[in-house]
């Protein structure tokens, strides 16, 4: 039986994504998968649309490669390459990092320095998903920390949770660091592990994909 590596970037990123999605709402479940992350809707242009198409083509190619390989097929990654030029503009999804749909909480920080300091405290950076409709209009198709429709729904930050697999990854991560030479054998090792797991449970979803694709950074 193949040993499962719980601590690789690809799987951890996938579980963080799944966990975050339990806090979000989309008009179609398929719209959870974004093709590019931008800091504002004004950044959507010919260049970023092309980048989104390339990202989508690469992701679809990798998915097909992994699927066919798992079925025992002998093939090269090049056999599954997709032509990004064949991807329609209406088929790409933009994740826009924004606090527009997050309620204000005045006084939360005495001297607010960022817009986040003036809003309700969240477990991960908020965003909205956009795509072009058939009339070439950008429409909102998803919101983080949200329940219900895009126009008639409401803000919520308590409905989701980390997946069981991500929780297992956090525990494995703590176990790995607890066996390192500089801490192994400490009498309070178990207490340190317990505190680390608690901290990961509290802030483990704060990883910001718009700044890095390495959750260990």
Residue 68 domain-assigned (yes or no): no
Residue 155 domain-assigned (yes or no): yes
Residue 189 domain-assigned (yes or no): yes
Residue 43 domain-assigned (yes or no): yes
125: domain range? 24-54+88-160
Domain end among 160, 189, 208: 160
Residue 108 domain-assigned (yes or no): yes
Residue 66 domain-assigned (yes or no): no
Same domain, 145 and 195: no
Q: What is the pLDDT of residues 92-145, one digit of tens each?
A: 999 999 999 999 998 888 888 999 999 999 999 999 999 999 999 999 999 999
Residues 6+ apart with CB under 8 A from 50: 84
Predicted confidence at residue 33, as pLDDT, reads 97
Residue 24 near residue 146 (C-beta atoms within 8 A): yes
Predicted confidence at residue 26, as pLDDT, reads 98
Same domain, 120 and 196: no
Can you tell me the distance from the alpha carbon of 20 to that of 29, in angstroms, rounded to the nearest whole number? 13
Domain end among 131, 160, 189: 160
For 59-127, give the DSSP string: HHHHHHHHHHHHTT----GGGG---GGGS-GGG--EEEE--TTSPB-TTSSSS--SGGGGB---SS--E
Same domain, 181 and 211: yes
Residue 3 has pLDDT above 90, yes or no: no
Can you tell me the distance from the alpha carbon of 204 to that of 167, in angstroms, rounded to the nearest whole number? 9
Same domain, 176 and 112: no
Predicted confidence at residue 191, as pLDDT, reads 57
Predicted confidence at residue 167, as pLDDT, reads 82
Predicted confidence at residue 200, as pLDDT, reads 60
The pLDDT > 90 percentage for the chain reads 63
Same domain, 118 and 17: no
Predicted confidence at residue 135, as pLDDT, reads 97
Q: What is the pLDDT of residues 168-203, one digit of tens each?
A: 887 777 776 655 554 454 454 455 555 655 566 556
């Amino acid at each position: 039986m193949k040993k499962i590596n719980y601590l690789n970037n690809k799987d951890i990123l996938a579980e963080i994504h799944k966990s975050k999605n339990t806090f979000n709402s989309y008009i179609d479940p398929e719209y959870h998968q974004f093709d590019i992350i931008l800091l504002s809707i004004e950044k959507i242009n010919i260049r970023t649309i092309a980048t989104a198409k390339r990202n989508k083509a690469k992701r679809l190619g990798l998915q097909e490669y992994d699927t066919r390989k798992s079925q025992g097929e002998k093939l090269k990654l090049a056999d599954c390459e997709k032509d990004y030029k064949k991807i329609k503009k209406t088929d790409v999804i933009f994740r826009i990092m924004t606090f527009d749909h997050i309620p204000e909480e005045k006084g939360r920080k005495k001297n607010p320095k960022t817009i986040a300091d003036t809003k309700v405290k969240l477990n991960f950076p908020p965003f909205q998903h956009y795509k072009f409709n058939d009339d070439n209009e950008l429409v909102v198709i998803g919101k983080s920390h949200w329940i219900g429709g895009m126009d008639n729904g409401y803000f919520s930050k308590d409905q989701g949770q980390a997946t069981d697999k991500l929780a297992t990854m956090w525990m494995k991560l703590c176990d790995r660091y607890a066996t390192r030479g500089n801490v192994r054998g400490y009498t309070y090792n178990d207490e340190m592990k317990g505190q680390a797991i608690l901290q990961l449970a509290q802030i483990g979803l704060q990883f910001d994909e718009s700044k890095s694709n390495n959750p260990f950074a």
